[in-house]
Each structure stands twice: as structure tokens, then as C-alpha cells.
């Protein structure tokens, strides 16, 4: 009985030893403990360099957004930043992969008896400094959290670059707009000149062939159609002379309406120009404001009270800045940190934190009304597109005066009535663009039109 047990245990020992040898052969050659420590320190310095690079890159993107340079230069800078954000992301991912591999080796060294657990802890506590009284970050869990924040920051910066690219495209369209408008204005003039030249050529041909023209005698028994036609033309001319004062009055009324519409169009374009000269900022990101960091899962929204759902700036329950300020006022919370127990003023931890949108101090980014005012500029772009419709009325009036086509006056008048109704609808549609402009500009339009 004892012999069978001993032989069985010896067999298990041999199997275990064989498995251990197989595991040892499967493990790649491990570095020495000191060499591994130096590699970890080197990669931690690389992670610190990536942190500094992300900070500098974020500053460059924000400076580019508010830079007062030509759109050609901004477009070139955008191309460089697009490539740089991809390169920086690749560096961070590579650094994280290397650190994960290196931090997985110390347990193997301890299992292989190359170093004891206490010796390794003593060795890893020897943290170098990146600056005076600033130790290098070498904790694996903290490094993972920092790298995750960096990747999220790069994603936000990429979205910001897309917004800047959209702004550059708008600037390009506005710069090319006058040239296209001039081309459209030159086209009718050129067409009129070509028509005038064609008529002059026809008159010259008729004058040259006058000597070769002969009259045509109609048959004696046929009725004199020319006399009948002359009588009809005479009656039509008399009717036209009788109705001429009426048509003249209608034409003068249309001219007055055209002048009023033109004044209204000028005022609308002045409003658009003043709105375009105002600074802008990115819109609030309501879609990508969900909380995904583990240490923020108990954070509450300052406005709707949702816990661990979204950041206060991305709250869709209270989206407007005015309503948010009322909530903060009712809660008697601080406008800089949104906490009611804050000591306020210089004692607030957010006292020297700039607003993300207007870059000013003294309020939290979620309370800033600048994004809503910047959205007014995009609403005004539709007016500029439709204002050119009013020019059509003026061109039709000029053509009417040149052609003396009285029968076309009714058609033109109905067209003018349609344009006038369109102008009123457009004015009412965009009457909420700016409260300051509404009292000064649109009241003037109401009196003119």
C-alpha cells in the first residue's frame, strides 16, 4: 500500500517537473532586474514626453481656432495638425503597449527566483525626478488612467479640428462669393450687348439690300388685308393710348416697391455683416458628454441632478445658459465650480480656470452664453442667400422699361407681389437673430416696406 502511494507520488512529481521545464522553455529570455528597471524608467519618461506633447498640441489647436490669419494659412496649419494628431496617438498607443509588457515581467522574475518580491519593491521605489521636487510617474494604474485621458483629449481635439475645417470652408466660400456674384451680374449685361450687336448687324444688312428689294402686288380681286390690319393696329394704338396713364401709375407703384425692397435688403445685409464680424466658438457637445471614467461614476449634473450620466456642460434637460444660471442662482451655488459649499471668489478652486468657449474668467463653461450667440451667425447665412432674389425684381423692371411691353406688366406685377411676400416671410423667419438688431433694423424695415 505504501509502495503504491510512493510510486504514485513519484510519478506526479516527474509530471510536474516536466511541465515546469516546458513552461521554462516557453518563457522568452528575461532581462536582468536592473536592466528591466532601466527600461521601465525609460518608457515612463516617454510617457511623460507624450503628456507634454498633448498639452502643447492642445494649446496649438486653441490658438489656431482664434487666430486672425488668412484662410489659406489656417488650411495649411490644419493639414499639419491632422497628421500630428495621428502621429501623437500612435506614440501614446505604442508607449502603453510597451509599459504593459514591461510591468508584466517582474512577477516572472520573482517566480524564476531571479529577484525577491521585497527587493523588487525597493528597486521600483527609486523614482527619478523630471524636475525639481517633481517625481516621475511610475505607478501602472495611474499611468493607464493618464493615457486614457490623453486618448480622450486627442479625440476631442480631432473634433475641434473638424469644426475649424468647417469654418475655413465657410471663409473660402465667402471669399469666392463676390467673384461668383460679379460673374452672374456680368452675364445679363453681356447677353444684352450681344443682342444689341445682333440687331445692329441685322439693320446693316437690311440697309445694304434696300436697293434690291421690290414691292409685291396682291391680286386685284383679293381683299385688302393691309388696310384691315392697319385699322386694327390703329384701334389697338388708341386703346393703348387710353390705358397708358393707368399702366404708368402701376409702373411707378412697382418702382416704389422695388426701392423699398432694395432698402430692406441693404439693412438685412448690414445685419449679416455685423453678425459675421462677431467672434465665434464651438457649439456645445451634447452628444459626446457621457461620463465614462470609473472615478467619476458618482458625479452629479449640476442642473438636472443625474448621477454618473453626463457632464454638466452636456446637460440636455437644461440646455440653455439663461435657464442654467437660474438653476445655479436658486441653488445658491458658485458660478465658477457649480458647488454650493464653495467659499467663492479667490478661494474657489476654479477661480483661475478660463471658460472653454469665451476664454474669460469668472464663470463655468456650462453657464457661458457665447455658444448660443455664435449659433445666430449660422442662422443668418440663409438670409444672405435669399437676398439676391430681390435683385431679380429690379432687373425685370429695367427690362420692362426697355421693351415697352405693356401686356407683360401684369405678369411682372404678380412676380413682384410674390417677391414682396417672400421678403416679408424671410424677415419674420429671421426676426429673432439678434434682439439688439431687432429694435433698430427691423423696425426701420417695417416703415420702409
DSSP string computed for 282-335: PPP--SS-B---GGGTTPBPTTT--BSSB-GGG-SSS-SHHHHHHHHHHHT--T
Ranges of each domain in the chain = 20-175
Mean pLDDT across the stretch 110-122?
Answer: 88
Which regions of 75-230 does DSSP assign to beta strands (E)?
129-131, 134-135
Q: Is the pLDDT confidence value at 282 over 60?
A: yes
- Of the two residues 119 and 346, the one the predictor is more confident about is 119
For residue 300, what pLDDT band results from cuts at 50, 70 and 90? confident
Per-residue pLDDT at 94: 93
Q: Is the pLDDT confidence value at 203 over 70?
A: no
Per-residue pLDDT at 416: 54
- Of the two residues 86 and 67, the one the predictor is more confident about is 86
Separation CA 60–CA 272 (nearest Å)? 30
Mean pLDDT across the stretch 203-226?
Answer: 53
120 touches 109 (CB < 8 A) = yes
- Of the two residues 313 and 263, the one the predictor is more confident about is 313
Q: Is the pLDDT confidence value at 223 over 50?
A: no
Paired strand residues for 135: 129
Per-residue pLDDT at 164: 85
Paired strand residues for 290: 310
Q: Which residues of 55-70 are buried (b: 16+ CB within 10 A; e: fewer)?
A: eebeebbeebbeeeee
- Of the two residues 42 and 399, the one the predictor is more confident about is 42
Q: Is the pLDDT confidence value at 151 over 80?
A: yes
Q: Is the pLDDT confidence value at 115 over 80?
A: yes
Separation CA 442–CA 447 (nearest Å)? 9
Q: Is the pLDDT confidence value at 233 over 60?
A: no
| 35 contacts: CB under 8 Å, gap ≥ 6 | none
Give the residue among 239, 258, 283, 253 at the shortest CA–CA distance from 371. 283
High-pLDDT (> 70) share of the chain, %: 65
What is the pTM for the complete model shown?
0.40
**Burial category of 135 from C-beta neighbours within 10 Å (exposed 0-12, middle 13-18, buried 19 and up):** exposed
| 382 contacts: CB under 8 Å, gap ≥ 6 | 430
The total of other beta-carbon atoms located within 10 Å of residue 266's CB is 13
Q: Is the pLDDT confidence value at 138 over 80?
A: yes
117 touches 110 (CB < 8 A) = yes
Per-residue pLDDT at 92: 93
Separation CA 260–CA 266 (nearest Å)? 10
Q: Which three cell numbers stand for residue 136?
A: 516621475
Q: Is the pLDDT confidence value at 216 over 50?
A: no
The CA R_g of the chain, rounded to the nearest whole Å, is 40
Give the residue among 12, 288, 18 at the shortest CA–CA distance from 159. 288
Helix or strand (DSSP H, E) at 37 = helix 33-65
Q: Is the pLDDT confidence value at 160 over 70?
A: yes
- The one-character DSSP state at 368 is -
Per-residue pLDDT at 218: 45
Per-residue pLDDT at 402: 53
Of the listed ranges 218-222, 228-232, 247-251, 280-284, the least confidently predicted one is 218-222
- Of the two residues 151 and 185, the one the predictor is more confident about is 151
For residue 405, what pLDDT band results from cuts at 50, 70 and 90? very low
Q: Which three cell numbers stand for residue 67?
A: 487666430
Mean pLDDT across the stretch 42-70?
Answer: 88
Q: Is the pLDDT confidence value at 247 over 90?
A: no
High-pLDDT (> 90) share of the chain, %: 13
167-202 tens-digit pLDDT: 888 877 777 665 655 656 666 666 666 767 666 666
| Cα separation of the two ends of the chain | 117
Give the residue among 420, 383, 391 at the shortest CA–CA distance from 270. 383
| 204 contacts: CB under 8 Å, gap ≥ 6 | none
Amino acid at each position: 500500500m505504501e509502495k503504491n502511494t510512493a510510486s504514485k507520488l513519484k510519478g506526479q512529481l516527474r509530471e510536474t517537473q516536466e511541465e515546469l521545464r516546458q513552461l521554462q522553455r516557453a518563457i522568452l529570455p528575461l532581462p536582468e532586474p536592473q536592466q528591466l528597471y532601466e527600461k521601465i524608467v525609460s518608457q515612463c519618461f516617454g510617457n511623460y514626453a507624450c503628456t507634454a506633447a498633448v498639452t502643447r498640441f492642445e494649446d496649438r489647436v486653441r490658438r489656431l481656432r482664434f487666430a486672425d490669419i488668412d484662410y489659406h494659412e489656417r488650411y495649411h496649419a490644419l493639414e499639419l495638425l491632422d497628421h500630428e494628431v495621428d502621429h501623437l496617438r500612435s506614440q501614446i498607443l505604442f508607449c502603453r503597449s510597451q509599459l504593459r509588457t514591461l510591468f508584466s515581467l517582474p512577477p516572472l522574475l520573482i517566480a524564476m527566483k531571479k529577484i525577491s518580491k521585497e527587493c523588487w519593491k525597493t528597486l521600483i521605489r527609486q523614482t527619478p525626478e523630471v524636475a525639481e521636487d517633481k517625481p516621475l510617474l511610475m505607478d501602472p494604474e495611474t499611468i493607464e488612467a493618464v493615457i486614457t485621458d490623453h486618448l480622450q483629449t486627442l479625440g476631442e481635439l480631432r473634433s475641434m479640428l473638424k469644426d475649424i475645417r468647417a469654418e475655413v470652408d465657410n471663409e473660402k466660400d465667402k471669399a469666392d462669393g463676390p467673384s461668383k456674384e460679379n460673374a452672374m451680374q456680368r452675364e445679363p449685361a453681356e447677353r444684352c450687348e450681344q443682342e444689341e450687336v445682333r440687331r445692329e448687324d441685322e439693320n446693316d444688312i437690311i440697309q445694304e439690300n434696300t436697293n434690291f428689294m421690290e414691292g409685291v402686288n396682291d391680286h386685284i380681286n383679293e381683299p385688302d388685308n393691309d388696310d384691315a390690319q392697319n385699322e386694327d393696329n390703329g384701334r389697338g394704338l388708341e386703346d393703348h393710348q387710353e390705358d397708358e396713364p393707368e399702366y404708368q401709375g402701376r409702373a411707378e407703384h412697382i418702382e416704389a416697391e422695388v426701392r423699398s425692397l432694395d432698402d430692406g435688403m441693404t439693412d438685412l445685409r448690414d445685419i449679416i455683416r455685423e453678425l459675421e464680424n462677431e467672434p465665434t466658438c464651438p457649439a456645445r457637445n451634447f452628444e459626446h458628454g457621457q461620463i465614462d471614467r470609473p472615478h467619476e461614476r458618482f458625479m452629479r449634473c449640476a442642473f438636472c441632478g443625474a448621477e454618473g450620466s453626463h457632464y454638466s456642460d452636456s446637460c440636455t434637460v437644461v440646455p440653455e445658459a439663461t435657464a442654467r444660471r437660474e438653476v445655479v442662482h436658486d441653488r445658491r451655488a458658485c458660478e465658477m465650480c457649480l458647488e454650493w459649499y464653495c467659499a467663492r471668489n479667490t478661494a474657489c478652486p476654479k477661480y483661475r480656470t478660463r471658460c472653454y468657449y469665451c476664454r474669460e474668467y469668472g464663470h463655468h463653461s456650462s453657464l457661458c452664453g457665447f455658444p448660443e450667440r455664435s449659433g445666430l451667425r449660422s442662422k443668418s447665412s440663409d438670409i444672405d442667400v435669399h437676398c439676391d432674389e430681390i435683385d431679380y425684381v429690379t432687373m425685370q423692371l429695367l427690362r420692362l422699361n426697355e421693351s415697352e411691353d405693356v401686356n407683360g406688366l401684369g405678369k411682372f406685377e404678380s412676380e413682384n407681389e410674390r417677391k414682396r411676400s417672400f421678403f416679408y416671410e424671410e424677415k419674420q423667419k429671421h426676426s429673432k437673430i439678434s434682439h439688439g438688431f431687432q429694435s433698430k433694423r427691423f423696425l426701420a424695415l417695417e416703415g420702409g416696406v
